[in-house]
């Protein structure tokens, strides 16, 4: 962790007191400040540049920090910016590694861009990659890729930047990519899927950001690919897990198993996606931006209708308090002006707290965070004494395996899961006994 100069700590503490931050929260504010300064030093951002916080906030989102934690971090860094705007001399470091602000204490001339410091042990001076990340984000968004794809690509580009010691982006070559991919396999021992994701991210970087052709890459050490058999729960174990869960986690887990949903697909469901008349739940913008319809478990009808009453009461309270509505996709918000405040567009599993939008200063409600479900199911597995490494995705695996064991056609299961290739679905044939007349047996049982 990067050490913070004592004069900054002392002045920051005084400002926290003046800002009426409670004594119990001041330690957390100091923690966020240390994390921010360490982030700026590690990724060569200017700590006194307010634009650096947006990158820091995205990093917190990648680390799955909750909305309240990110709001507290935002408040902590806002107070820090107030401090440095009043006392600029606090940012003049006594040693080069005190703060990652600039290579020199001499301010650049008007209109000149601030250079990042020289990276120790490198052959290249640290170059500013801000424009690269901005172009990467724009290229991903214009192709309507998911935010998770953007997060993953940005992470791999950042690791390439570190590997090349912040080399000038235009000088990045295929040899740098080869060295980086081999380094991931030999030094970092990443999985084959991670190395493939890194390859796709850098291919995207070259084609759509750097305007270079990748060409043929040979001589790269490939990570060994392992074929893992999915963890599957028995029906009895599923029931034991569900018994340990309270709402809304009980309903979430029931839909994960009953419909074979991915966790993010379940949490993104909106009220209008449930059709009790036809018994269908519609998944919009699933993996690969694909929609699909699934049979809604009839055994959940009564509980879902009761839950919708709870959601409706919460929505009514939000409207009375003057909130701006739920979050919508960018195109949906423009096409349907009042949709964010309509009940049919509300998330089926809304977040417990409202989220403040920095630009508009409006409060909106997001869906339940994935980490909350993951923690609840992990705790339920522990309390139910299930001797398996079960996660929310295990319920999706169990859905597919149980249908296959019930002699459902593999193509039908493929469609229900939303797989593009049936070979992905075939992995579940290893989780059940053979459904043919001649079952596989051990010679000891002959």
**What does the alpha-carbon distance between residue 39 and residue 41 come to, in Å, rounded to a whole number?**
5
Q: Dig out the tokens for 90 from the structure.
A: 């606090």
315 catalytic, yes or no? no
Establish whether 43 is a catalytic residue.
Answer: no
From the list 71, 114, 287, 303, the catalytic residue is: 287
CA distances from 20 to 17, 76, 126 (A): 5, 12, 40
Q: Structure tokens of 121?
A: 């042990």
What are the distances in angstroms from CA 18 to CA 21, 48, 82, 109, 367? 8, 21, 12, 35, 35
Q: Quote the DSSP letter at residue 429.
A: G
Residue reference for tokens 């235009």: 170
Distances (CA, A) of 205 to 37, 136, 157, 158, 423: 28, 7, 8, 11, 29
Measured between alpha carbons, how far is 417 from 396 in angstroms, rounded to an integer? 8
Angle between helices 51-62 and 147-163 (to 10 degrees): 110
Exactly one of 115, 262, 292, 303 is catalytic; name it: 262
Active site residue 145: no
Q: Do residues 427 and 229 touch, judged by C-beta distance below 8 A?
A: yes
How far lies 441's CA from each of 202, 263, 343, in Å? 47, 36, 55
Q: How many residues does the chain have?
A: 446
Catalytic annotation on 183?
no
CA–CA separation, 153 vs 132, rounded Å?
A: 12
- 262 tagged catalytic: yes
Residue reference for tokens 């982030």:
39
Answer for the pair 271, 261: CB distance below 8 angstroms, yes or no.
Answer: no
Confirm whether 423 is a catalytic residue.
Answer: no
The CA distance from 314 to 325, in Å, is 12
Token pair recorded at residue 312: 């409706």
CB 377 within 8 A of CB 245: yes
- Of 59, 167, 268, 396, which is the active-site residue? 396
Is 80:36 a contact under the CB 8 Å cutoff? yes
Q: Which of 34, 70, 393, 408 is catalytic?
A: 393
Q: Which residues are marked as active site?
A: 262, 287, 393, 396, 419, 428
């Amino acid at each position: 962790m990067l050490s913070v100069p004592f004069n900054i700590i002392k002045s920051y503490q005084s400002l926290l007191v003046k800002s009426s931050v409670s004594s119990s929260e001041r330690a957390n504010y100091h923690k966020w400040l240390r994390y921010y300064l360490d982030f700026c030093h590690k990724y060569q951002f200017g700590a006194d540049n307010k634009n650096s916080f947006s990158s820091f906030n995205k990093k917190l989102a990648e680390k799955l920090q909750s909305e309240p934690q990110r709001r507290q971090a935002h408040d902590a860094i806002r107070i820090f910016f107030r401090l440095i705007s009043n006392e600029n001399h606090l940012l003049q470091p006594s040693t080069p590694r005190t703060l990652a602000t600039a290579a020199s204490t001499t301010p650049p001339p008007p209109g000149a861009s601030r250079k990042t410091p020289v990276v120790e042990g490198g052959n290249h001076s640290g170059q500013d990659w801000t424009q690269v990340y901005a172009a990467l984000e724009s290229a991903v968004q214009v192709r309507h890729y998911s935010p998770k794809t953007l997060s993953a690509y940005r992470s791999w580009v950042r690791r390439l930047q570190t590997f090349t010691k912040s080399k000038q982006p235009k000088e990045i070559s295929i040899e740098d990519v080869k060295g980086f991919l081999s380094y991931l396999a030999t030094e970092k021992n990443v999985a084959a899927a991670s190395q493939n994701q890194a390859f796709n991210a850098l291919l995207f970087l070259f084609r759509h950001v750097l305007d270079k052709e990748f060409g043929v890459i040979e001589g790269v050490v490939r990570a060994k690919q392992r074929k893992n058999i999915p963890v599957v729960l028995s029906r009895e174990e599923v029931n034991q897990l569900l018994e340990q869960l309270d709402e809304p986690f009980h309903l979430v887990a029931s839909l994960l198993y009953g419909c074979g949903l991915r966790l993010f697909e379940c949490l993104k469901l909106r009220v209008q996606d449930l059709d009790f008349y036809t018994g269908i739940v519609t998944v919009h913008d699933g993996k690969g931006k694909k929609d699909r319809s699934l049979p809604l478990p009839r055994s959940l009808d009564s509980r879902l209708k009761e839950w919708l009453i709870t959601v409706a009461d919460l929505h009514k309270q939000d409207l009375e308090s003057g909130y701006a509505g739920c979050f919508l996709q960018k195109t949906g918000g423009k096409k349907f002006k009042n949709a964010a405040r309509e009940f049919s567009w509300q998330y089926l599993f809304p977040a417990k707290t409202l989220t403040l939008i920095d630009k508009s200063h409006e409060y909106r409600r997001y869906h339940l965070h994935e980490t909350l479900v993951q923690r609840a199911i992990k705790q339920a597995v522990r309390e139910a004494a299930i001797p398996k490494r079960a996660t929310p995705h295990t319920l999706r695996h169990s859905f597919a395996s149980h249908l296959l064991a019930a002699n459902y056609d593999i193509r039908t299961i493929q469609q229900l899961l939303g797989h593009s290739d049936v070979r992905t679905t075939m992995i579940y044939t290893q989780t059940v006994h053979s459904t043919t007349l001649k079952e596989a047996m051990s010679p000891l049982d002959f």
